[in-house]
Amino acid sequence: MKIEELINKAKEAQKLSYSPYSKFPVGAAILMKDGEVVLGANIENASYPLSICAERSALFSSHLKGYKKEDMVAFALYGNTDNYISPCGACRQVISELYPSDAPIYLANKEGKYIITTIKELLPLAFSDGDLNS
Ligand code: THU
């Protein structure tokens, strides 16, 4: 699948966002090795801190569909931003747990222009399972 197609999927996912409070819809799409694309969107709550970001909803949905880190090949994020959208700190921690450290993450802006990064780059020195045993 072309990068542009995956970004379009993230744009479609954005339509599923429930963001009446921030009015800032975000969409995510994760491409799997088997060709499936799992979508995510931010879903907010009147009790604001209970809201969930697009990145985490996509990763949790992937997990519930039976996909593991090793199955994932690309991650696209789309927002109505001038600049490239960037995952929040909480999502970076969850991405580092559930998404491969070297796999591409495409951060797109409202025009569909993107930069490519990795979670290793977005969250260096991440806290991980290994730290629990030291
Ligand atoms: N949000 C995401 O879903 N992903 C991001 O990368 C940045 C922020 C959501 C959280 C909240 O629902 C809204 O955008 C405004 O912060």
Query: How many separate domains does the chain show?
Result: 1
pLDDT digits (tens, 9 = 90+) for 46-99: 999 999 999 999 999 999 999 999 999 999 999 999 999 999 999 999 999 999
DSSP letter for 110, please.
T
Q: Determine the average pLDDT of the residues in 98-106.
A: 98
Query: Could you tell me which residues come within 8 angstroms of residue 85 by beta carbon, excluding any fewer than 6 positions away?
Result: 26, 77, 78, 79, 107, 108, 109
Neighbours of 50 (CB within 10 A): 9
pLDDT digits (tens, 9 = 90+) for 12-48: 999 999 999 999 999 999 999 999 999 999 999 999 9
pTM exceeds 0.85: yes
CA of 57 to the centre of ligand 1 (A): 11
- Which one-letter amino acid corresponds to residue 39? L
53 neighbors 75 (Cβ within 8 angstroms): no
User: Which is catalytic among the residues 4, 55, 70, 97?
Assistant: 55
> Ligand 1: does its nearest atom lie under 6 Å from the Cβ of 24?
yes
Instruction: Establish whether residue 83 lines the binding site of ligand 1, counting it when its CB lies within 6 angstroms of any ligand atom.
Output: no
Give the position, in ligand 1's atom list, of the atom nearest the Cα of 53.
3
Model confidence band, residue 133 (pLDDT cutoffs 50, 70, 90):
confident
pLDDT given for residue 134 in this prediction: 60
Residue 51, ligand 1, Cβ within 6 A: yes
39: containing domain: 3-132
> How many Å lie between the centroid of ligand 1 and the Cα of residue 133?
32
What CA–CA distances, in Å, run from 85 to 19, 46, 68, 69, 105? 16, 24, 25, 22, 11
Percent of the chain that is helix, strand, coil (3-state, to 5): 35, 25, 40
CATH code at 104?
Answer: 3.40.140.10
19 Cβ inside 6 Å of ligand 1: yes
